[in-house]
Chains A and B, each alone.
Chain A
């Protein structure tokens, strides 16, 4: 410390002195993790991987009625493996989408669901039940229907981004506002149709409107996984660009990024991830936001290469942890999003109030 202060004051004079002072300091680096944060980061990452493994294996093996290692044990574990895989897919989707979305919109208190993905999902589900009755829920299940829903949501998002970001408005805030208004509009249309449903139809429908891992069909995974892997990998490869984008439009333009183009590309990838997640399990309003905020607290860096994996792991830990608790503590599996909002929300408030910053 003393040495730093001394050399610091020595170069207060001319630039020559500054250069001379800088020469021996070859060890000065601008890594993404300053000083102590480095060790902390790897500890956090290790702990998250361990927790993810515990919950993952726990979900597969806990309360498995067959003796461990027997053929029946593996059959049951395999059936449960689908749920665990779905959780991993959803965690990656929500984490990557939310962190990236917050970066390009320069806003740390919103989630991509603001763009109306969930409202659209709810509207599609409700319309189907409204038109076809209880058969409508069944009519929306199947691989082609899944693909159609994903395509519909991506198309809707692209239309909105494309129109609002390339026109003369060219303004992110306006785009967000219109996204909220359209989402609200779709929400009230859905609410209106739900009023007209019979109680039994409504009951069947409302089960679909909570985010639920068991909504997902194993048949969707061969389509969902490649989509998610490609989109998440592309986002991760743009990490350093996103570090620059986080500085805002003017600074990133000055650093040579085509700001609008970059934002559009990131939003396209975000919309793919959100669409897959929503079509797979339904609305997960709070998960992405929770995970992104906690990831920033845990990783303590601005660097997206480091934030994104932490966020995804956190997402898996929160989701599988919530599922584990629901299944084995409350015997109320199903509405996982409720426990995420309850426990996750409390943890979130605790962390924010303790640290006092986002």
Chain B
């Protein structure tokens, strides 16, 4: 379980995020949605201890993220940011192998190698595993980073807009990979999403953020209504019945 208590982050004097109180239960996919600048990524990066808190506390599976040593936390939670600085002479497999660093800081054991192979197979990059990162498309690189996070083998996985720069097909594949990671590997995934319909279809819980506050938290059926979405996004949204669940129409 991820617990946020009175979490606040100030940007200058005018803008601040929070205070936020939130409990994200174990298991499944939780999607953070909301308009630009609402504070979704800020909340996520604070959960992943990449950003310091100005007030409050965050606990992940009983570990206070500001006080637990980074090394210990790295076996509990992993986080992937949107923009990743990539190293040119690094193959997919070598990148994913770095995901084992918290478990084996020295040489990789045969078990580590197996975990690395599993993570690569999981995102269907086996044929490309010895390609260098600078020889990949944006979508393949994105999947390679997700494989690294999966190889880290943490119960909690935080992803900041992993669908950015992905086309339809790769977005769908990515969400299917994550869905399987949640179901088959029992990971708890928290993900920032922009596409409300992706959130509706793949997430177990949706957390709507607006102006630095959590305004709605519940199952997709509870959150994805005309009234809530129109209020959160400040734009008229209509839910219609689609072939596989309800869809938001907003254009």
Interface residues of A (CB under 8 A from B): 4-5, 7-8, 11-12, 14-15, 18-19, 21-22, 25-26, 28-30, 32, 34-35, 106, 240-241, 243-244, 246-251, 253-258, 296, 300-303, 357-358
Point out the residue from A12, A25, A246 that lies within 8 Å of B124, measured CB to CB. Answer: A12
**Which one of B53-61, B83-91, B192-200 is at the A interface?**
B83-91
- The docked-state distance in angstroms from the alpha carbon of A358 to that of B87 is 11
| Contact A247 B87, beta carbon cutoff 8 Å | yes
How would you classify the secondary structure of chain A's contact residues: helix, strand, loop or mixed?
Answer: loop
Residues of A within 8 A of B67 (CB): none
The tally of CB-CB contacts under 8 A between chains A and B is 119
| Contact B89 A253, beta carbon cutoff 8 Å | no
| Contact A255 B98, beta carbon cutoff 8 Å | yes
Q: Chain A nearest CB: distance from B173 CB in Å?
A: 10
Interface presence of B17 (CB below 8 A):
no
Residues of A within 8 A of B124 (CB): 8, 11-12
What band does the interface of chain B fall in when counting residues whose beta carbon is under 8 Å from A?
Answer: 35 or more
Point out the residue from B105, B113, B180 that lies within 8 Å of A30, measured CB to CB. Answer: B113
Interface presence of B49 (CB below 8 A):
yes
| Contact A247 B98, beta carbon cutoff 8 Å | yes
Residues of B within 8 A of A19 (CB): 118, 121
Select from chain B the residue with minimum beta-carbon distance to A19.
B118
| Contact B70 A256, beta carbon cutoff 8 Å | yes
- The docked-state distance in angstroms from the alpha carbon of A248 to that of B99 is 14
| Contact B102 A256, beta carbon cutoff 8 Å | yes
Point out the residue from A26, A243, A250, A301 that lies within 8 Å of B81, measured CB to CB. Answer: A250
Point out the residue from B49, B106, B130 that lies within 8 Å of A34, measured CB to CB. Answer: B130
Cross-chain pairs A/B with CB under 8 angstroms, 28 sampled: A4-B126, A11-B124, A11-B126, A15-B185, A18-B118, A22-B117, A29-B108, A29-B113, A30-B113, A32-B94, A34-B91, A34-B93, A34-B130, A240-B101, A240-B105, A243-B98, A244-B101, A248-B85, A249-B50, A250-B45, A251-B81, A251-B84, A253-B50, A254-B78, A255-B102, A302-B89, A302-B90, A358-B88
Known interface pairs A244-B98, A247-B85; A256-B71 also in contact (CB < 8 Å) = yes
Residues of B within 8 A of A249 (CB): 50
Interface presence of B7 (CB below 8 A):
no
- The docked-state distance in angstroms from the alpha carbon of A247 to that of B98 is 9
Q: Among the interface residues B48, B106, B118, B180, which one has the most CB atoms of the partner chain A within 10 A?
A: B118
| Contact A253 B71, beta carbon cutoff 8 Å | no
- The docked-state distance in angstroms from the alpha carbon of A18 to that of B126 is 10
